[in-house]
A and B are shown apart, each in its own frame.
Chain A
Amino acid sequence: MIRLILCTCFLTGLFSAFSQAEYYRVTLQPGFDYVHRFNSSNDIPVATMERDYTGIGLSATVFLTKHIGLNLKGSVASAITTGKDVGQPRESLEAYYSPDFYLEEIVRPNEQLPVSAHFLAAGGVYRLVKKRWNYQFGLNVGAMNYAPSGVEYFLKEHGTNNYYAARMYTKMEKRWSFVVEPSVLVSFVLKNRLAVFVAASYRLSPGKIRQREYMTNMYSGEVVNNEYASNGLFQMIAFNVGFSIGIGKIIE
């Protein structure tokens, strides 16, 4: 680790001796993403997708002036869904069914299935250049999608000998949900057109969540279906690191 830091410092010092940030017309920023999703705002079980996931992203910015540009970015992340609700574990299901039912057991709580999450956004950026440092502040709007969630469990009805096999499926009403993303990016020039960048953004995604609940009486086989809709606000923070490549002419 120390070697890596020393090497990075050495290379940074070496490159900085010869390089300076310029106002390039276009910048391309391929990089790696790390996303953390915060708890959902609604009070019924929502998501079985792990709250932390990583992916790859690409951002392209075309600058109209020295400081103002239009940005387009997208990412594909590889996430994991589990057999349980990660945001609100067992207690929330218990609270949801109390006092009419008792939660007996969640089926496959340790299941791990890979899913992908996509993000696509466009917006404006403001750029500042200070010697070898480049600062960008942006605001994007776009769309993102979530993998549908499914939780299976057994219930016992209060006051009776009835046991139920139950399933709860959760998905966004629309395949793609709207997202607003303010962001900040700092890059450091390594060589004329090549820089490294670190970025952080906060994603806010309001959307309607649909939940479908199936309860099968294990004795009679009778099935009860319920459907719920609620408004949720997904909040997540994303960190990106990668290279920033300057393309085209320098804006004077």
Chain B
Amino acid sequence: MLRKTFTATLLCFCCFSCMKKADYREIPVTLCSIDVLPIDNTYASPQTAMSDTVAAQAFGLRLQLKYMDEAGICQIDPMETVSLFPACYAMGNNGKTSHYYVPVNPIDSLVVYSTEDFDATHPAGTNLINCFSIFKPYSYYLPMDYLGGERRILFDDMYLQPKREEVNMLLLKLPEHAGNHQFTIRVYTRNGELFQQTLPSITLSL
């Protein structure tokens, strides 16, 4: 009787321990590259700008951050799989547990600048990041409040490699005059990496 009770208790303890670990799995991901597109938010949802002229009031930038987890790194680096402790299998997503992703190279700062003067306080080349806001249902966030620091990332498609996080930075402070702007976006990480992209020239109308 005592032995049975002990065995049952041990089994329960093992089960609960496993479940607890599974619930709190943390998967590190590495920011590998960025992709930026101009967006037009005239209608119900933001769309990639098809024209080279967009109303400034509805203009925005879609920032696509591409991340790799260990499984992805193993795919592009087969040597990792033959190592003594292949992290890709230890930490990879098996699709059965709840988990969250944490960047190993968090974003340290974001810079958006234009080749043209934006307004009196933002001459060409100054950082315009404070003119943009990220809107996620249902709140506006300052870009660095949303993207900066150590945070958990939600990916639309967990199985895609590289994983993609998409945020729409909406222009909420308007330029003083209508005109052409060529935006450059720079993403600095805490590990000292720089990801940069310059968009084709676009006309912001008022």
Binding site for B on A (CB under 8 A): 102, 104-105, 154, 156, 158-161, 163, 165, 218-219
Contacts and interface: CB of A to CB of B under 8 A. Distances in A.
B138 A158 contact: no
B57 A156 contact: no
Contacts of B171: 161
Nearest to A154: B138
A139 to B, nearest CB: 51
B57 A160 contact: yes
B44 interface: yes
A160 B58 contact: yes
Interface of B: 41-45, 55, 57-60, 133, 135, 137-140, 170-172
Contacts of A105: 137-138
Contacts of B45: 156
B11 to A, nearest CB: 40
B44 A156 contact: yes
A158 B43 contact: yes
Given A159-B55, A218-B138, A102 B43 contact: yes
Given A102-B44, A156-B44, A161 B58 contact: yes
Nearest to A160: B57
A179 B58 CA distance: 50
Nearest to B170: A161
Contact of B57 (A104, A159, A163): A159
Given A161-B57, A165-B138, 13 more contacts: A104-B44, A154-B137, A158-B43, A159-B58, A160-B41, A160-B55, A160-B57, A160-B58, A161-B41, A161-B133, A161-B135, A161-B172, A218-B140
Nearest to A103: B44
Contacts of B137: 104-105, 154
A134 B172 CA distance: 73
B53 to A, nearest CB: 14
A102 B139 CA distance: 16
A191 B44 CA distance: 68
Contacts of A160: 41, 55, 57-58
Contacts of A163: 135, 138, 140
A102 B59 CA distance: 17
